[in-house]
Amino acid sequence: MHPVLYSGLFQHNKQPLFKPVFRLRVHTHRYRTILLKENEKARDMTPDTADKIFEILSAENPSPQTELNYTSPYTLLVAVVLSAQSTDAGVNKATKALFQKVRTPEDMLALGEDGLTEHIKTIGLYKGKAKNVIALSKMLIEDFGGRIPDTRDDLQKLPGVGRKTANVILNIVYGQPTIAVDTHIFRVANRTGLASGKTPDAVEAGLENIIPERWREHAHHWLILHGRYICKARKPHCAVCPISALCAWPEKAEIQVGRAREVSRNT
């Protein structure tokens, strides 16, 4: 479990502030775990409840950070592009030696596609990612003077950069309150009731609508880390979840009872 994010786990004894009015099914998809509403109409979470959720997550981890290793805005962009359908840990392992050699787009072009491929061949889809990284490095030099663009439109002109990657860069590099919806945020948003949606764009729009302004800058990191270490896809740790009392997921009660019985048997 993440040592910083949940250094002080606790359970809330309060009842949820609203009753869940929909159930969720798990489906296989390119986002690994997709949570879809069984009922068409779901009661939206109130802004007050969302505010309380982020107040709790903030207290647990006041300054959340990305778990991708990087040395500059450019290497962060490369790391995020490489992380598509790959784990941060796997990307960090591959880029450890790479980022000792490469710090700028010019360095990457000097290394070349073959040299880059040798460094990242342990990452999924590495051949296509290598082509994109070389191409985006060339475009950065030719079209942006080697500087990382500070708008979503310009970022998405770069090969291999979609809306999610652009939002990550805008948030971390430029401090913009963007929300990059990855598989963890997609799951957490649907499961907790923060934002229901069948697509990442729909979830992003829902989160932007519900998250209070004061939490926007770090919201995407809090939700990613919560999904990675607590609200996991297959075995969520509902019994130790700090926002359990505010979560709308119906199955959480069953999981909590099951965990309690397991603990009872082992004591």
Active site residues: 164, 182
Distance CA 47, CA 17 (A): 12
Termini Cα distance of the chain: 22
* Tokens read off for 44: 């939206």
- 109, two tokens: 């072009």
**From the centroid of its chain, how far is CA 91?**
15
Q: What is the 3-state secondary structure (H, E, C) of the chain?
A: CCCCCCCCCCCCCCCCCCCCCCCEEEECCCCCCEEEECCCCCCCCCHHHHHHHHHHHHHHCCCCCCCCCCCCHHHHHHHHHHCCCCCHHHHHHHHHHHHHHCCCHHHHHHHHHHHHHHHHCCCCCHHHHHHHHHHHHHHHHHHHCCCCCCCHHHHCCCCCCCHHHHHHHHHHCCCCCCCCCCHHHHHHHHHHCCCCCCCHHHHHHHHHHHCCHHHHHHHHHHHHHHHHHCCCCCCCCHHHCCCHHHCCCCCHHHHHHHHHHHHHHCC
The answer to whether 193 and 249 have CB atoms below 8 angstroms apart is yes
